[in-house]
Amino acid sequence: MKITSKFWIGIFILVILSPLGLLIPGYFNSKTAWGEWGIEEVRRFIGYAPKGLESLSTLWKAPIPDYAIKGWEEKGLSRLSFAYIISAAAGVIIVAGLVLFIGRILTKKGD
């Protein structure tokens, strides 16, 4: 089996396992997944929000907030899991497309 096939199989497995981000925080009685904190959670954890972090917190708005399709937030774990898989697959497709596009641009310049 080629290394690229192994790579894409690994990516596929990670996409399918992405709903674990919903299950694991619940198992450990956590309110949010590790590292997915907003400015309010940071304030709650450490007692203040660093100035740089606070100024950057409004810089980016997620295209799919909380990895959920609008209207599915309260539809149950099965739909949220499906939304996580869709979000992960969309991210993989976008990143792979950008890498291929940039790669083609750079290889054309090298000729």
Domains of the chain by residue range: 3-34+64-109
Q: Is the pLDDT of residue 4 over 70?
A: yes
- Average pLDDT of the chain is 84
pLDDT band at residue 109 under the 50/70/90 scheme: low
How far is the CA of 90 from the CAs of 3, 11, 72, 86, in angstroms?
23, 12, 17, 6
Express each pLDDT in 22-65 by its tens digit.
788 777 877 777 777 788 888 888 899 888 888 887 787 777 77
To the question of pTM greater than 0.75 for the whole model, the response is no
Asked if pLDDT for residue 102 goes beyond 70, the answer is: yes
- Find out whether 15 and 92 touch, Cβ atoms under 8 Å: yes
Helix axes 20-27, 77-109, angle to 10 degrees: 130
The pLDDT of residue 111: 58
